A and B are shown apart, each in its own frame.
Chain A
Amino acid sequence: MPHHFPPDSVGLVTPQILQFEEPLALDCGRSLAEYELVYETYGTLNADHSNAVLICHALSSDHHAAGCHEGTDPNKPGWWDNCIGPGKPFDTREFFVVCCNNLGGCKGSTGPTSINPENRKPYGPDFPIVTVKDWVRSQARLADRLGIGQWAAVIGGSLGGMQAMQWAISYPDRVRHVLVIAAAPRLSAQNIAFNEVARQAIISDPDFHHGHYYEFGVVPRRGLMIARMLGHITYLSDEGMRAKFGRELREGTPNFNFNFDTEFQVESYLRHQGKAFVDRFDANTYLLMTKTLDYFDPAASFDQDLSAAFHRTQARFLVISFTSDWRFAPARSREIVRALVRAGREVSYSEIASESGHDAFLMPIPLYHETLRGYLNRVAREVDGRTSEPAHATVPAATEVNTHAA
């Protein structure tokens, strides 16, 4: 049955796959002889290929950022559908938006569930642990293949924001704008601690089989579920959970049972989230992605000086954080901003009031979307050549800027 999508939706989308034959050297010292990347695009690449925007996904999402796949529930579009589409903050009438599933993922790009060409068996735990730098390197090859020499913008939230930052550092001349949302310059001990508990939950599941569970026809369901439940708590905020669940008991539970069944609404919610996750995500990928997070530290190669890491960057930055995010709190974003200021880079920073915790970056918070829209509008005008970058603006161009602002 054909479905009518709202006018601001990108509508039906089809993922595409590119094969890469040239080996990719990885930070761990190993290399991938060949690999595939699955990706989606929205909008149209313009004649001079200057309107491309890369969206980098976070820990548990994928290349399906907007629109719907044939035969799926039209009410469940891609993970950032509220931002991508005609008239939305990442306006597909202006931009050619690209989003790929990262290496090590489980949604179509080469990862632990893929077949290892060396032994014709799934990689499983033998899949190399890739880093944010490796991802960016693989995304640069994707850009080459798509004919994109320079991104108008690279955008990401959380782990995606780290990739966006890394883009500016690794390929200074290949990105004009970088949007770093709800991210951190590196994980804190507390962040790593949460990741470690999640990993131990998976690894200690009897069905894990040292990561070779595919061969046994099982999945470490309980471990992955607990890992997700734990992760989910860190995505929400105390006030958000209080508002959403309070101490409400679930329906049909008038009183305490004095046992360990699901009684509170919040328990029921977390279990549901955990179970749903197990059906759509691979445990080895989860392990790998948490390690990728732990390892990210661009300052490490610059004598622990983050501003030195930003010294060679040429992009303009927009950094956004959310007040109730305690996973990557506003103070972490301010570390990024401080380093950029000290490096003399162009940066804007906004701290958005929200009760949604870390998850806020996926929410259609009006002020947040206005901020994104305002920034991307300027990027679009820059692409159109109607105005040059403010840093190099001539007087007439700046006058036009004022006209637009009014």
Chain B
Amino acid sequence: MRPELELISEWIRPGTRVLDLGCGDGALLAYLHERRQVSGYGLEIDSANIVKCIRAGVNVIHADLEAGLEDFGDSSFDYVIMTQTLQAVRHTERLLDEMLRVGRQGIVTFPNFGFWRGRLQIALQGLMPVGKALPYQWYDTPNVHLFTIRDFEALCRHKRIDILQRMVLDHAHQPRLGPRLWPNLLGEIALYRLGRA
């Protein structure tokens, strides 16, 4: 998780307002607050995580992302961030729209289902991929939409979402040459900075 936090933080201008969708224990917001002096809120549905955020002094709001972001005004945040959450929501498209309505920019990270190990597991063993970025069995996974880097970029084209920046990390969560050349094959985690003209 750490390299991911650092990379996201490099994309964030200091002193901006941030909304973190599915903020978990608040680690990202605490990190961004420390490194980039951001203000803002995390949205989280799990009560135990909410207590952790409160203990850490992170502003957290109990909310169900599936219900949309109607409590938040248009362009009321500089960045709306969704780390490792997009694949776990049912209304993917609507949430992307909401993200880019509420935020001037969106930042999304997700596990790439096109990663070579997963492809091998399916091709050779005939089993659904289980790995570091996708640690769940098919029957207990919170992920309801699994997709690849190519899938995601096709959706962005279709929805006229601009990809402002992309970073693809390998299995060691480093942005090395391999995933840069063959992102959909060698990238395990994808990070995107999105905008809408």
A residues touching B (Cβ–Cβ < 8 Å)?
A: 318, 334, 337-338, 341-342, 346-353, 367, 370-371, 374-375, 377-378, 390-391, 393, 395, 398-399, 401-402, 404-405
Considering the complex, give the chain A residue whose CB is closest to the CB of B57. Answer: A390
List B contacts of A341 (CB < 8 A).
Answer: 41, 61, 71-72, 76
List A contacts of B55 (CB < 8 A).
Answer: 374, 377-378, 404-405
B73 contacts A342, CB within 8 Å? yes
* Known contacts A350-B62, A391-B39; A401 and B56 CB within 8 A of each other: yes
- Which residues of B41-85 have CB atoms within 8 Å of chain A's CB atoms? 41, 47-48, 50-62, 71-73, 76
List B contacts of A367 (CB < 8 A).
Answer: 47-48, 51
SS class of chain B's interface: helix, strand, loop or mixed? mixed
Expressed in whole angstroms, the Cα–Cα distance for A399 and B53 within the complex equals 15
List A contacts of B73 (CB < 8 A).
Answer: 342
- Which residues of B144-193 have CB atoms within 8 Å of chain A's CB atoms? none
Considering the complex, give the chain B residue whose CB is closest to the CB of A320. Answer: B62
List A contacts of B52 (CB < 8 A).
Answer: 405
B61 contacts A348, CB within 8 Å? yes
Given A351-B62, A398-B30, 15 more pairs with CB closer than 8 A: A337-B61, A337-B71, A346-B39, A349-B62, A350-B54, A350-B60, A351-B47, A352-B47, A353-B47, A378-B55, A390-B58, A391-B39, A399-B34, A401-B56, A405-B55
Expressed in whole angstroms, the Cα–Cα distance for A375 and B59 within the complex equals 11
* Known contacts A390-B33, A398-B33; A348 and B60 CB within 8 A of each other: yes
List B contacts of A401 (CB < 8 A).
Answer: 30, 56-57
Expressed in whole angstroms, the Cα–Cα distance for A377 and B54 within the complex equals 10
Expressed in whole angstroms, the Cα–Cα distance for A334 and B61 within the complex equals 9
List B contacts of A399 (CB < 8 A).
Answer: 34
* Known contacts A334-B71, A341-B72; A371 and B56 CB within 8 A of each other: no
6 contacts between A and B (CB under 8 A): A318-B54, A341-B41, A374-B54, A378-B54, A390-B33, A399-B34
- Which residues of B120-157 have CB atoms within 8 Å of chain A's CB atoms? none
* Known contacts A347-B41, A347-B59, A349-B62; A371 and B51 CB within 8 A of each other: yes
List A contacts of B59 (CB < 8 A).
Answer: 346-348
List B contacts of A352 (CB < 8 A).
Answer: 47
Expressed in whole angstroms, the Cα–Cα distance for A334 and B62 within the complex equals 9
List A contacts of B50 (CB < 8 A).
Answer: 348, 350, 371
Expressed in whole angstroms, the Cα–Cα distance for A164 and B131 within the complex equals 49
Expressed in whole angstroms, the Cα–Cα distance for A351 and B53 within the complex equals 14
List B contacts of A342 (CB < 8 A).
Answer: 73, 76
B33 contacts A393, CB within 8 Å? yes
* Known contacts A350-B62, A391-B39, A393-B34; A378 and B57 CB within 8 A of each other: yes
Considering the complex, give the chain A residue whose CB is closest to the CB of B70. Answer: A338
Q: Fill in one digit per residue for B19-31: 1 if any A CB lies within 8 Å of its CB, else 0.
A: 0000000000010
Partner of B34, one of A338, A347, A395: A395
Considering the complex, give the chain A residue whose CB is closest to the CB of B52. Answer: A405
Expressed in whole angstroms, the Cα–Cα distance for A393 and B30 within the complex equals 11
List B contacts of A371 (CB < 8 A).
Answer: 50-51, 54
Q: Nearest Cβ distance between residue A401 and chain B, in whole angstroms?
A: 6
Sort A-B residue pairs by CB-CB distance and give the 5 closest, nearest first: A374-B55, A398-B34, A390-B57, A405-B56, A338-B71
A370 contacts B61, CB within 8 Å? no
Q: Nearest Cβ distance between residue B10 and chain A, in whole angstroms?
A: 17
Expressed in whole angstroms, the Cα–Cα distance for A337 and B59 within the complex equals 11
Expressed in whole angstroms, the Cα–Cα distance for A342 and B55 within the complex equals 24
Considering the complex, give the chain B residue whose CB is closest to the CB of A337. Answer: B61
Expressed in whole angstroms, the Cα–Cα distance for A390 and B57 within the complex equals 7
List A contacts of B48 (CB < 8 A).
Answer: 367
* Known contacts A334-B71, A337-B61, A367-B47; A348 and B54 CB within 8 A of each other: yes
Considering the complex, give the chain B residue whose CB is closest to the CB of A339. Answer: B71
List B contacts of A405 (CB < 8 A).
Answer: 30, 52, 55-57
* Known contacts A342-B73, A370-B51, A391-B39; A349 and B30 CB within 8 A of each other: no
List A contacts of B58 (CB < 8 A).
Answer: 348, 390
List A contacts of B61 (CB < 8 A).
Answer: 337, 341, 347-349
List A contacts of B72 (CB < 8 A).
Answer: 341
List B contacts of A350 (CB < 8 A).
Answer: 47, 50-51, 54, 60, 62
Q: Nearest Cβ distance between residue A405 and chain B, in whole angstroms?
A: 4
Expressed in whole angstroms, the Cα–Cα distance for A367 and B48 within the complex equals 8
Expressed in whole angstroms, the Cα–Cα distance for A377 and B57 within the complex equals 10
Expressed in whole angstroms, the Cα–Cα distance for A352 and B46 within the complex equals 10
Expressed in whole angstroms, the Cα–Cα distance for A353 and B45 within the complex equals 12
List A contacts of B60 (CB < 8 A).
Answer: 348-350
Expressed in whole angstroms, the Cα–Cα distance for A393 and B57 within the complex equals 11
Expressed in whole angstroms, the Cα–Cα distance for A179 and B117 within the complex equals 50
Q: Nearest Cβ distance between residue A90 and chain B, in whole angstroms?
A: 15
List A contacts of B54 (CB < 8 A).
Answer: 318, 348, 350, 371, 374-375, 378
List A contacts of B57 (CB < 8 A).
Answer: 378, 390, 401, 405
Expressed in whole angstroms, the Cα–Cα distance for A375 and B55 within the complex equals 6
Considering the complex, give the chain B residue whose CB is closest to the CB of A345. Answer: B59
Expressed in whole angstroms, the Cα–Cα distance for A401 and B41 within the complex equals 17
Q: Nearest Cβ distance between residue B36 and chain A, in whole angstroms?
A: 11
Q: Nearest Cβ distance between residue A41 and chain B, in whole angstroms?
A: 26
